[in-house]
Homo-oligomer: A and B are copies of this chain.
Amino acid sequence: MKTKNYLLLFAVLLTTVVFAQQPKIKIQTIAPGVIKLSMGTPDKYSPYTFCSEKPREEAMQQLSDKSLPFDLKDVVVQKNSRGVQIRIPLNEEEQLYGFGMQIGTFEQRGLRKRPIVNDNPSNIGYTHAPQPFYVSTAGYGVLVNTSRYVTFLCGTNQDLSQQKPVIKEQEKLKFSTQDLYANQSQSKMSMWIDVPSAEGVEVFFFLGETLRESVQRYNLFSGGGAMPPLWGLGVKYRVKGDFNQDEVLKMGSYFREHQIPCDVLGLEPGWHTKAYSCSYVWSDKFPRSQEMIEGLKGMNFKVNLWEHAYVNPAAPFYKDLEKMAGSFLVWNGLVPDFVNPKAAAIFADYHEKNLVDKGIASFKLDECDNSNIMDAKSTWGFPDMTTFPSGIDGEQMHQLFGSLYARTLAHIYKKKNQRTYFDYRSSNVFTSSLPAVLYSDIYGHNDYISMISTASFGGLLWSPELRDAASELDFIRRMQTMLMAPQAVVNSWYLKNVPWFQLNRELNNADVKHVNADKLEELVRNLFRERMSLIPYIYSAFADYYDKGLPPFRPLIMDNPKDKRVRSIANQFMIGQSMMAAPTTKDSTTRVVYFPEGNWYDYNSLKQYIGGKSYMIEIPMDKLPLFVKEGSIVPVATPLNFVDEHSVFEITCKVFGNGSTPFTLFEDDGVTYDFQQGGFNKVVLSVANGKGIVERKGSFKGIRYNIKDWNFIK
């Protein structure tokens, strides 16, 4: 090689080194109001890679075109041998929310958050549904498109380059540990983001006039919100894990005979020949499984099956997957490399032919998170160091596993033009269109309430299921919360009889009926009927989720961007257009309810409240603690015991105040995706001259709602 060539080689290498150190930042608009900043070589398997839905651009164009409150030139992105670091300016006033479904913290400013998937959520950010995504009251959202374990310093630390330290006057010595450790730096005006192991990064900015709009934009970018089947909004009941098929049928009969609304029966591990890991084959407890499915169908039940994704050697498709699985096993089972479309197809095809085609309406996808990363003894999950044939590693796979798993199975139903509604235990970003609700083994009731709100910042749905209860009061309070959530489910996987028969586990399984059982059953029936009466209202809220990206269940901050008093409220939330829920726990019969601007009605007592104030309110036991904004029209249905393709809801329109805000019922077949091709009606309810008006527009031929009455409440 000649000298010149050496020099050329040297120049090439030098350029490469410099480039590798600080690659150029690229900025592009990738959808209306969505800006992508990229630098270096981002991970091959970023979350957006797996978003199968297209951005809903038309709907996104309806949102405001307000620009970012900071200059993108002030965003710092730097790369070193440890990974990529990002700085985004913060202003004095803004508050931050998000990072997926979170517990323990709500307002995230001033905190360090690490959204990492974990089966044991904690305030640092470990959660079933971690999201490297936050939204600001200043009207924007920031998403780091990575599957790595990212740390967000939400205005917690002082950066030497941003501000010089100053000598303060002598302060009084502090002697409580709390005082000593209080974060004393004078100003925290930066969001710092730490992306380890990365060679590059993509950051998505979602614009919005308000926080709510940035959430809407994110959801629309992800394909819009999920549209559950109508039956998915009824009540689900999960039977004891070792029930045989006769016991399942008997439980179905109980609900029908006792006229207790129920749409779905869920089967737990015992239906498999092997459950940890799974065989996906009916066990000998179900010798005539098809007969049972038909029997339940005859009673108008949908059947949901529990499983997880770890494939036992007894699974018929085990051999086919062996070369497309992770390097570590879980419970002796393969971890499918869902990144590989072939692996996903093997898994899905088996499910389609053997379960979906046979009438299984939905699945519960368990264990797709990770064993508790804070506990030395909890090691069932595949290690972060796991390698997969596709090239994704265990860390990335953990973050994505739940969503990839759910996408794999949801795809079967989409293909069949059949809607479904899963339970799953892990999610990530860009999943708002997945028809699936999150659940958890943790059980703090206050956490359960706040997760309805925290989930909504990132297009997630949370199902605060009812299992145990410490007392009748606890049982009823938890039931009220469960019935005001995206999914209403009683999970009796270790109870032979329904929990209201006997709350004590041992006595329940010994068939010892509690002395109050009949009274409690009556209460349960009435509360379930309350939920059923709201299905048209909630279904329409989901239509707004699909169409506008507006979360059907959401914290007050989304609807009241200028009211600083709602910023910290995580125990009240909006349902749909005009209802506000204010659940309480066993610890109190009353609670403080804050009413945002405007006037409000108690949905049950019709008592009125003035907005901008807090009231101490007694929370009833036999009703759902709901409040309605003045001017609203709420369509209330005569409760059905189940919803099927032929159900027609008899509607009473309750008009609170002058009814100045019209309400739009979403009407379609309730079970297929035809609505995506225009197969729906909008039934607009409004009031003029003191009279109710119904306008039905659209091409759907059926009638789902029969507006039978108007009830004017002044």
A positions within 8 Å CB-CB of B: 1-2, 5, 8-9, 80-83, 85, 104-105, 110-113, 122-125, 151, 153, 156-161, 165-168, 170-171, 173-175, 177, 180-181, 183-186, 192, 194, 196-197, 199, 241-242, 269-270, 273-276, 283, 312-314, 325-329, 331-334, 371, 373-380, 382-385, 387, 393, 395, 441, 493-494
Contacts and interface: CB of A to CB of B under 8 A. Distances in A.
B180 A276 contact: yes
A379 B188 CA distance: 12
Given A168-B274, A175-B242, A194-B385, 15 more contacts: A83-B385, A105-B376, A112-B376, A124-B373, A124-B375, A151-B383, A160-B329, A160-B334, A165-B313, A165-B329, A165-B334, A170-B274, A171-B274, A173-B275, A196-B384
A324 to B, nearest CB: 11
B383 A80 contact: no
B165 A333 contact: yes
Contacts of A376: 104-105, 111-113, 123-125
25 contacts: A1-B8, A80-B393, A82-B385, A104-B376, A105-B377, A110-B379, A111-B376, A112-B383, A123-B376, A124-B375, A124-B376, A153-B383, A158-B329, A160-B326, A160-B334, A165-B329, A166-B313, A167-B314, A168-B332, A173-B275, A175-B494, A181-B371, A181-B380, A185-B332, A196-B197
A8 B2 CA distance: 12
Contacts of A159: 327-329
A39 to B, nearest CB: 15
Nearest to A43: B81
B166 A332 contact: yes
A80 B387 contact: yes
A281 to B, nearest CB: 11
A124 to B, nearest CB: 5
Contacts of A242: 173, 175
A385 B173 contact: no
Given A374-B374, A376-B111, A383 B157 contact: yes
A83 B380 contact: no
Contact of A167 (B110, B241, B313, B382): B313
A319 to B, nearest CB: 11
A681 to B, nearest CB: 46
- Interface on chain A toward B: helix, strand, loop, or mixed SS? loop
A35 B214 CA distance: 57
**Highest count of chain B CB atoms <10 Å: which of A83, A104, A197, A385:** A385
A123 to B, nearest CB: 5
Contacts of A493: 175
Protomer copies: 2
A502 B186 CA distance: 39
Nearest to A331: B184
A110 B377 CA distance: 7
Contacts of A382: 157
A183 B112 CA distance: 32
B124 A383 contact: no
Contacts of A327: 159-161
Contacts of A199: 81
Contact of A156 (B1, B125, B379): B379
A184 B174 CA distance: 51
A273 B385 CA distance: 48
A8 B333 CA distance: 47
Nearest to A153: B383
A556 to B, nearest CB: 22
A43 to B, nearest CB: 8
Given A5-B1, A194-B385, A327-B161, A175 B241 contact: yes
Contacts of A378: 112, 181
A337 to B, nearest CB: 12
Contacts of A85: 385, 387
Contacts of A332: 158, 165-166, 168, 184-186
Given A105-B376, A113-B376, A157-B382, A82 B393 contact: yes
A107 to B, nearest CB: 11
A328 B157 contact: yes
A393 B157 CA distance: 16
Contacts of A166: 313, 332
A174 to B, nearest CB: 8
A180 B124 CA distance: 26
A34 B340 CA distance: 44
A123 B375 contact: yes
B175 A111 contact: no
A375 B393 CA distance: 27
Nearest to A181: B380
Contacts of A1: 1, 5, 8
Contacts of A82: 197, 384-385, 393, 395
Given A325-B160, A332-B186, A395-B82, A173 B269 contact: yes
A493 B173 CA distance: 12
B441 A177 contact: yes
A199 B20 CA distance: 15
A507 to B, nearest CB: 16
Given A173-B241, A275-B173, A393-B82, A122 B374 contact: yes
Contacts of A329: 157-160, 165, 185
A123 B377 contact: yes
A395 to B, nearest CB: 6
A348 B275 CA distance: 62
